[in-house]
Structure 1
């Protein structure tokens, strides 16, 4: 038997690619810690700015939808587009898999039939087939077609083995072998394979010409893809439902996450709306260390600067208005009663001159305290601490004709403001002159104290004055506070020690006092310093550093020799 078989099939596949201080505590010492002050409330001012500068009148641009909703919407939209793309690609891949599987099944059946035609024998005779219809009937009886698969043999008769699971809409099985019209279209079609659209869906088919000594015929293999497409559609519908559920879950999670992320921004908005002209104490809580946490911290720092500037201006105005009221009243009263008597006029002018001088000193001190809040208050430079104290000693002698005893001198170099430190010690000395007995000695000095891994420069001055009572010590560095014995004649307005505290604070240090009432007082300031190399350590001589003989160094050597 000679059998010729030829079969051609076309396969198409579409592939798609789918694309997180140490605080030094000194016993029995009053420090310069700023006490808490209650802010004075004043009636809120009415804005007189230009209407177009009023933020409430700004129309603004862009969407009025809250940022939280916009973020959630963009996330949901992006996720939805991604899921839709995945479903489309998945559908394309499933369709391609069905078509590929159908073509492979057709080719497999054709190869099996070809093998059977070459080696098969008639079960009745045990010899090769002599009848084409007998060979087709025997082969088809032995086949069990898969779902949607059709096997048909065309000889003198039409033999078919259709899968009865392929049913019509009314539930009756469909047999392609009994559909003469469709079968004729396949037989008459050119080529050995193709795709045919039928009322039962797409049919992918292949045919094989069979010729024997007993006659010629045809073997037809068909694959209805509708059952496989229906299974794919169920998979796609289930996947789509899961995707919709995931999209809704994503919407809820993105809304909550966006709310948590934007919480610092909303807190900043609430803080900004709560700030008024009389209350700048509102701050934004900082709970994270990310970009929004840094934004909240920067906003709080800005509020700190604004509050400090406002407090400084308000304190200056309050202090000036409070303290200037008395001298102005005195001057006005004397001028109103000024007569024609020359002696009376001279006395009045003396009083006016004294009060004007007091006003001038008051304004100067208040301006000094106001300037202490500015970053340019200090002018630090590399300073020889021993020379600083010797300079203070030479300057302090001019305050009063009494013994000024320099007890100790710190040696070393550090970056400080020598003028401000001299001013602080001179203020301590002026207080000692004012409140201690005439001719009483005053001791002072400087020393370096180790405090953990740093050094403290301690400047101190001790007098033999009346001392300070225990209840007055916490307030001794406050403005306009004069903590002296009631029997003492009070001078000044009580700003000197406040200026000392401002100088200490500007150096990140602390002003302090130790005293027992009636036994004098010791005032001092402690400043954290980083010691610099001395000229000897830097490899330069004293002459090279100072450009010649240094009188302060010579005085220091004389002081050491005298102590020996």
Structure 2
């Protein structure tokens, strides 16, 4: 007896857990379509809102720069105009000293909170000898306190510029009688203006974040509703089996997703028909082949040594095998009728086709064959399949009539249709059997006692050929008794007038 390997306590559970862990846990989880749509939506919205916020900030900063430029131009223009036209209020004459000009002008100005108006008197290359007046609301302004910055502005060769973030412009005062050089300087500190633009930018970012949160919730709900048919398709596909193909997807709306659901339902319809045809084929084959197989087996099991008995058994077995072969061929033909290439239409002459059918059917039995009428025109149909159907109808008529009975064949056109027909003078078909005789392995009760001994597939084949031509088979009573089978082919789909 084999002894199982020993394990230490606590080892067994660990090993079991390790061996029973599904391998799918190690596989990366796929993102669903709903999540991917939401992520793409958030990415696009983030880029769009970020671009809007950045563009708004850029526009606001540009407006600040334009406003500063206009303010500097306005202040320097006012001073230049005062310098040309202004007069000393004490003397009533033009200003003789730059310092007096600057002082009088500055006393009449009111600067903005972020603006400094400064008058400088001095010589180039040295610190300004005098700051005439600073008319900034905060008397001791930042630029006012920075002598080095004032020196740079005073000595600058150009009339405007920027120094450590401060925007400035100046107007040099014309010297008279070799007096000291002077200048009027207007400076603007844009920090607060820029901070307002940054505040707006931050507010836009907060609004964008709230909008993204709302978009996330709304997008999740909307994506779920849009993709609901897709999830139903996936669920239905997972639940489908060969035994149950009845599940369908509800279709709502007219969008692409609804079209997907309709396409999936149509696919299920085709699959259901295909599986039904397969099951029917198997059931029919099993049902019809069971009887001849039983007969063959029974005769072979009971066959003795008598040569005559052996000969009779061989004859019966051969006959049953031939019948099995015919059944299999008919079933295969019916199965092939579901394929799109079952019918291969081409242009044929109806008169010639009808005459050929008549010649071929005359050899089926000792009957009084008649070619009643012929349609003299051209039509587009599968001549071989039509011939096969007509020969089957003629064979059916032979099986249900006695020798010497009348069988008529003909073709005609009526109401935009092509009709080929076979009429016999047999016992006819009862009204209650008119529909079932076209089903597989079904025969009318009135004909079961007649001469025919087929498997009941002949009229099913005729019906399949007619439907392959987008037509049908019609049963009519024959005048004087009997049955008339009419093979109807829709002309607007399969034929045209000969030119």
Q: Same fold (TM over 0.5)?
A: yes
Q: In 2 relative to 1, CA 328–60 (structure 1 residues): closer, same or farther, beyond 3 Å?
A: farther
Matched, 1:158 2:126: no
Residue 398 in structure 1 maps to residue 363 in structure 2: yes
Distance 1:346 1:176, change over 3 A: same
Farther-moved stretch of structure 1 (314-323 vs 78-87)? 78-87
C-alpha displacement at 1:416, in angstroms? 1.5
1:113: how far off? 0.5
Measure how far apart 1:497 and its partner are.
0.4
Q: Which residue of 1 aligns with 2:203?
A: 238
In the alignment, which residue of structure 1 is the partner of 2:16? none
Q: Does 1:434 align with 2:399?
A: yes
Secondary structure, in 3 states, of the residue corresponding to 2:398? helix
Once the two structures are superposed, residues 536-556 of structure 1 have per-residue CA deviations (whole angstroms, 9 ceiling, x without a partner) of x3xxxxxxxxxxxxxxxxxxx
User: How far apart are residue 303 of structure 1 and its match?
Assistant: 4.8
After TM superposition, give the deviation of residue 353 of structure 1 in Å.
Answer: 3.4
Q: Following superposition of structure 1 onto structure 2, how do residues 454-533 of structure 1 map, counting pairs within 5 Å?
A: 455-485=416-446, 488-489=449-450, 491-515=453-477, 519-529=481-491, 530-532=494-496
CA offset digits 1:398-436 (Å, max 9, x no partner)? 223232232221121122122211121122122222224
Match status 1:186 vs 2:150: yes
Q: Does residue 1:135 correspond to 2:68, yes or no?
A: no
| CA deviation string 1:234-260 (max 9, x = no partner) | 322333233334433444454455445
Does the 8 Å CA contact 1:145/1:151 hold for their aligned counterparts?
Answer: yes
Q: Alpha-carbon deviation of 1:298?
A: 5.8
In the alignment, which residue of structure 2 is the partner of 1:381? 346
Q: Which runs of 5+ in 2 are unaligned?
A: 1-21, 122-129
Once the two structures are TM-superposed, the CA of residue 342 in structure 1 deviates from its matched residue by 4.7
State the SS of the aligned residue for 2:119.
strand
Structural mapping, 1:272-351, within 5 Å: 272-283=237-248, 303=268, 306-351=271-316
Matches within 5 A, 1:13-412: 64-154=30-120, 158-163=132-137, 174-176=138-140, 181-183=145-147, 185-187=149-151, 189=153, 190-191=155-156, 192-197=159-164, 202-210=165-173, 211=175, 216-256=181-221, 258-259=223-224, 262-283=227-248, 303=268, 306-412=271-377
Relative to structure 1, the CA distance from residue 501 to residue 242 in structure 2 (aligned partners, 3 Å threshold; closer, same or farther) is same
Quick check: 364-373 or 340-349, which moved more?
340-349
Q: 1:324 to 1:487 in 2, by over 3 A?
A: closer
Partners of 2:144 and 2:322 in 1: CA distance? 128
Contact (CA 8 Å) 2:116, 2:143: kept in 1 or not? Answer: no
Q: Distance in 2 between matches of 1:313 and 1:205?
A: 93
Secondary structure of 2:188's match? Answer: strand
TM-score, normalised with respect to structure 2: 0.81
Figure out how many residues of one structure are paired with residues of the other and give that number. Answer: 462
- CA spacing shift, 1:281–1:325, aligned 2, 3 Å: same
* Deviation for aligned residue 1:264: 4.9
Q: Tell me how far apart the structure 2 counterparts of residues 469 and 95 of structure 1 sit (CA, whole Å).
A: 97
| 1:387 shift after superposition | 0.5
- Would you say the 8 A contact 2:242–2:275 is kept in 1? no
**SS of 2:81's equivalent?**
helix
**Conservation of the 8 A alpha-carbon contact between 1:404 and 1:441:** yes
Q: Relative to structure 2, which stretch is displaced further, 57-66 or 207-216?
A: 57-66
For normalisation by structure 1, the TM-score amounts to 0.72
SS at match of 1:482: coil
Cα distance, 1:518–1:333 mapped onto 2, change above 3 Å: farther
CA distance, structure 2, for counterparts of residue 374 and residue 487 of structure 1 = 32
8 Å CA contact retained: 2:349, 2:379: yes
Helix, strand or coil for the counterpart of 1:204?
strand
Relative contact order higher in (CA < 8 Å, ≥ 6 apart): 1
SS in 1 for 2:184: strand
Give the Cα–Cα distance (whole angstroms) in 1 for the partners of residues 24 and 346 of structure 2. 50
Shifted more, 57-66 versus 502-511: the winner is 57-66
Q: Is the helix fraction higher in 1 or 2?
A: 2
Give the 3 Å change call, closer, same or farther, for CA 321–487 of structure 1 in structure 2.
Answer: closer
DSSP 3-state at the match of 1:397: helix
Determine if contact 2:381/2:495 at 8 Å carries over to the other structure: no
Q: CA separation in 2, counterparts of 1:132 and 1:141? A: 14
Change (3 A) 1:178 1:304: closer
Task: Quickly say closer, same or farther: Cα 1:177–1:349, change in 2 above 3 A.
Answer: closer
Give yes or no for contact 1:467–1:484 (8 Å, CA) kept in 2: no
SS of residue in 1 equivalent to 2:363? coil
Q: What CA distance in whole angstroms lies between the structure 1 residues aligned with 2:87 and 2:36?
A: 76
SS of 2:395's partner is helix
Q: Indicate if the aligned counterparts of 2:120 and 2:182 stay in contact, CA closer than 8 A.
A: yes
Q: What is the distance in 1 between the residues matched to 2:301 and 2:496?
A: 61
Per-residue deviation, 1:184: 5.5
In structure 1, what is the Cα distance between the partners aligned to 2:193 and 2:142?
23
